[in-house]
Structure 1
Amino acid sequence: MRLMKLPETFLENMKELLGGEYSAWLASYEENPHQGLRINTGKLTAETWKSISPYGTEQVLWTGNGYYIGDQDRPARDPYYYAGLYYLQEPSAMAPAALLPVDPGDRVLDLCAAPGGKSTELGARLKGQGLLVSNDISNSRAKALLKNLELAGVSNLCVTSETPEKLADVFGPFFDKILVDAPCSGEGMFRKDPDLIKSWQEHGPSYYAPIQRQILSQAVRMLKPGGYLLYSTCTFAACEDEDTVHWLLDQESELELMPLLLWEGAQPGINKEPVIRLFPHKIKGEGHFAALFHKKSSSSSQKISEEQATGKTRRKGQTGALRKGPSDAELGEGFLQWEQQLSSPFPRERMMIRDQLVYLLPEDFEPGWRLRYLRTGLLLGEQKKQRFEPSQAAAMVLSPSRYACCFSMKRSDERVIRYLKGETVSLTEEEAGQDAWPKNGWILVCVDGWPLGWAKNAGAVLKNKYYPGWRWQ
């Protein structure tokens, strides 16, 4: 890889920042950037991945489910990618979500979430419990975010496209954990994406620092006492990193900086602050910065009741006590027939019907929130006259153990690619003789047992119902 033309001002700043390590850092730009994938632990374990992986299994140090891949690998052209088994992500970008201590049942906000690399990891760690609100102010970027979350099989999600100020006005101190992977000058990604250099020359660190601080101020408003906020950037500039950390601590007395354990190659802050800096000459990855804050729970000004925080009169976990959900008549015969194939039905009290679309709402979701949504919970499907069409998102959260009518093919079966391209799937005589499949019923199509999408039983063939917007191109 030839040495790219880096701005002189940037080089001078890095020389001052790195001192004696400057030459090693600069030499790293002659190397190719590292590529990686992060497996979806909501669908499989690291042990399972190692047993089936068609790609390299060298692990990324700072996360237990990240792996390096080779330059010749094409994981985006693989059925396992379409099954949501992994997300393609630059290795250093895996750090922020790994450093935020998320537990199942938490209320989590990813404030600047698109395209979804960090949200998909947060969703996997929630294990379908609690609530994940993934937001991006750009509606077009939020659409890509939604696709990646649904591909990963995240069911307890809300995808919004709002300003941080609007979210803070609606939620107040509601979230247990918040991730702010803020828009930044992108200095740490120059090697991976040289086009960012032009953007840096137009809008450098001094442009982004005020934006980051405004976003963080609103994030703190939404963090519950006792909660954690992870701030990250992919830049080296101190004014966007340590200076912003110190500014936030000065502004918000209830916040404290939590130490982050260093791994091999990770560096502390400029003045040895307990934050993490990643440099491409020190790790197999690009540049990143992360700082973890804790909101003290002893501040009397922050001690508010659950009712004040959420505008609700119920406690966490009591969703069903106040909702009955739609009746059988409202859901329709088509839905009920589809539901019969489930080994355990979705909780009726968390269902909602809107514009003929049937949703499964997450725990702690409040229908009264007035926000610009792209998705509220898991879209189960659409009611159409006397029938029900299950959604692509619903397919991605199921499995052969959860849904009775499944057809699974091996990854090497050429019909897998044909299905992903939207073609009809021909069945052998033995495959077509499945007594458990109702005539013209919905079939969950899988690869090696992991769901891909839907088809309709037509005897000797499966009529393809794979979502057109996701098809193999």
Structure 2
Amino acid sequence: MELPLAFKEKYQTLLDDAEALFEAIEEGTPQKGFRLNPLKPAAAEMLSVYGPERSPAPYAQNGYLGEVSGRSLLHQAGYVYSQEPSAMIVASVADARPGEKVLDLCAAPGGKTTQLAGQMQNEGLLVANEIFPKRAKILAENVERWGAANAIVTNHAPHELVKHFSGFFDRIVVDAPCSGEGMFRKDEQAIAEWTEQTPLQCAVRQKEILDSALQMLKTEGTLIYSTCTFAPEENEQIISWLVENYPITIEPIEIENVSHGRPEWGSVAGLEHTVRLWPHKNQGEGHFVAKLRFHGEDSEKKSKKTKNSIDRETQRLWQALSQMIPAPAEGTLVQFGDQLWLVPESAPSLKGIKFLRAGLHLGTVKKNRIEPSYALAMAVNKTADYPCVHLSIDEWKKYVAGETITKAGNAGWVLLCVEQIPVGFGKQVQGTIKNFFPKGLRFQAV
């Protein structure tokens, strides 16, 4: 690949080792990576049995260097998420805690969201937002497969969320849309779209997003700002703008083997506490991340809580089903049309919010029954609590292809598992397991 001349001239001026950066981009090979899902049953053990060759990744507790197939057992069951290694640093810096209220404001396709969900252990509330509908759909699918029971996926412009979540969140992650210079090595389209003006144009949008984010942050809340670009205009200069215009302080980031922000590229003290990853110095692509503390007064409003809103018949049907297939988390039962959801207890009213996931999707209400959802199967964390039918790898391949499976028994709804790995629900009737793997997700496994 050939880098734009204006890009080279810019960084030859800014960097003493610019030629090493250019060589890494033009001749280097992108590093594949993935993360293991700590929410899943026997995750480490199942990785050792069914996982690919791997070595530890540098910036995430459950991160690995290696490549997983999207048609593999572990990927289908949500045990792994493919992610570029340097991108794992963002949620690691965020360090979300169980019980908190956390917003991933620019969340698609879901790498940061799923990592945050693992940190939160399904306790508290995680809101994952994406402005573009198609990308929001991909985000929702990844959150579902990950088994995050405490996550709501929304589809809004950042400023539209403010009225619903004013002064609400303990932590907000803004992995901002950027010029993508850090991804040049793996994305030639980013090179083709880059101009000298791209960083400045992106900076305007980044400021708008951050202004909305701060309105949704509690006093003493944490803001994580990150980009996948090298551009000072989108990194040190954005942090300088924040500190100069809002009651914000820059917090140190304690991670080894990283580079740091350049104070000479901004205008405030403390920029050395931010972190940079360079493809010629670190494993992975280019990234920038800053951890900030908000000291202003929040404008939290008393928001209405979501209340149970299901009729008696649905309540009766759910009570009957949950005797065999219980919900794996606490929450509020809410019915939207014929869909039954378990909304996280700390969620505000969802009235007026465009969402793709309202928490954990439990199932579809039909005449005289509720069909349990694929999302419910993915959220199972203790297989011993469910009626399980164990599949061989060959039977699993038939299942994800949409075929029926022959197994002696007449147990009704059953959780299908490969060893300790839940892969979905089936209905066992007189020795035949009817296939309820979602039609839109079916594939030929490897």
Report the TM range for the smaller structure's normalisation. Answer: over 0.9
Inter-CA distance 44–282: structure 2 relative to 1 (3 Å threshold): farther
Name the residue aligned to 2:268. none
- CA distance, structure 1, for counterparts of residue 50 and residue 21 of structure 2: 32
- Return the letter of the residue paired with 1:255: I
Q: Is 1:258 equivalent to 2:251 in the alignment?
A: yes
- Deviation, structure 1 residue 225: 0.6
The structure, 1 or 2, with the larger RCO (C-alpha pairs under 8 Å, 6+ apart) is 2
Q: What's the counterpart of residue 136 of structure 1? A: 130
Aligned to 1:223: 217
Mapping of 1:30-429 within 5 angstroms?
A: 30-43=27-40, 47-48=44-45, 51-52=48-49, 54-69=51-66, 73-201=67-195, 204-252=198-246, 254-271=247-264, 273-296=272-295, 299=296, 302=297, 308-312=300-304, 323=307, 326=310, 328-333=312-317, 335-342=318-325, 347=330, 350-367=332-349, 369-399=351-381, 401=383, 403-410=385-392, 413-427=393-407
Residues 91, 176 of structure 1: alpha-carbon distance in 2 compared, 3 angstrom cutoff: same
For residue 279 of structure 1, what is the amino acid of its counterpart?
W
Structure-2 change in CA distance of 1:340 and 1:14 (3 Å): same
Q: Determine helix, strand or coil for the equivalent of 1:177.
A: strand
- The 8 Å contact of residues 125 and 151 in structure 2, kept in 1 or not, is answered as yes
Tell me if structure 2 keeps the 8 A contact 1:130–1:364: yes
Q: 1:303 and 1:202 mapped to 2: Cα distance? A: 37
CA pair 192-345 structure 1, distance change in 2 beyond 3 A:
closer
Contact 2:95 2:119 in 1 (8 A): no
- 1:369 and 1:331 map into 2 onto residues whose CA distance is 22
**How far is the alpha carbon of 1:463 from its aligned partner?**
1.0
Aligned to 1:464: 435
Note the aligned Cα RMSD (angstroms).
2.2
Q: Summarize deviations over 1:335-367 as a string: whole Å, max 9, x none.
A: 3332111467765x7101121211101121122
Secondary structure of residue in 2 paired with 1:121? helix
Distance 1:159 1:323, change over 3 A: closer
Q: What one-letter code is carried by the residue in structure 2 that aligns with 1:292? A: K
CA distance in 1 between partners of 2:220 and 2:42 (Å): 30
Q: Which residue of 1 aligns with 2:23?
A: 27
The letter for the 1-side match of 2:13 is E
SS in 1 for 2:221: strand
Flag the 1:455–1:47 CA change in 2: closer, same or farther, 3 A: closer
Asked whether the 8 Å contact 1:344–1:402 carries over to 2, the reply is: no
Structure 2 CA distance, aligned partners of 1:159 and 1:461? 36
Q: Secondary structure at the match of 2:272?
A: coil
Q: Distance in 2 between matches of 1:284 and 1:371?
A: 39
Letter in 2 for 1:108: V
Distance 1:262 1:122, change over 3 A: closer
Secondary structure class of the residue paired with 1:195: helix
Offset, 1:374 = 1.3
**Number of aligned residue pairs:** 437
> 1:28 is matched by which residue type in structure 2?
A
Residues 274, 288 of structure 2: 8 Å contact kept: yes
Return the alpha-carbon distance in structure 1 between the equivalents of residues 84 and 242 of structure 2. Answer: 28
**Equivalent pairs: percent with the same residue?**
37
* SS of residue matched to 1:75: coil
Which amino acid letter does the alignment assign opposite residue 339 of structure 1? Answer: S
Q: How far off is 1:100 after superposition?
A: 0.3
User: How far apart are 1:325 and its partner, in Å?
Assistant: 5.6
In the other structure, the counterpart of 2:267 is none
C-alpha displacement at 1:329, in angstroms?
2.8
Structure 1: unaligned runs, 5 residues or longer:
313-318
Q: Which deviations, in whole Å up to 9, do the C-alpha atoms of 1:269-294 show, x marking residues without a partner?
A: 35452100100011120000000111
How far apart are residue 327 of structure 1 and its match? 5.8
Q: Cα–Cα, structure 1 residues 281 and 414, in superposed 2: closer, same or farther, change >3 Å?
A: same
Alpha-carbon distance, 1:368 to partner: 5.1
Residues 303 and 150 of structure 1: CA distance in aligned 2, closer, same or farther (over 3 Å):
closer
CA contact (8 A) 1:94 1:118 kept: yes
**Local SS of the residue matching 2:349:** coil
Does the CA contact (< 8 Å) of 1:262 and 1:268 recur in 2? no
AA aligned to 1:280 is P
2-structure distance, mates of 1:360, 1:199? 42
Is the contact between residue 343 and residue 401 of structure 1 (CA under 8 Å) also seen in structure 2? no
Q: 1:344 to 1:57 in 2, by over 3 A?
A: same
Whole-angstrom CA distance in 1 between matches of 2:49 and 2:153: 32
Q: 1:400 to 1:240 in 2, by over 3 A?
A: closer
Identify if the C-alpha distance between structure 1 residues 202 and 25 changes in structure 2 by more than 3 Å, giving closer, same or farther. Answer: closer
Asked whether 1:449 is paired with 2:433, we answer no
Residue 18 of structure 2: SS of its match in structure 1? helix
**C-alpha contact (below 8 Å) 1:339/1:345 kept by paired residues:** no
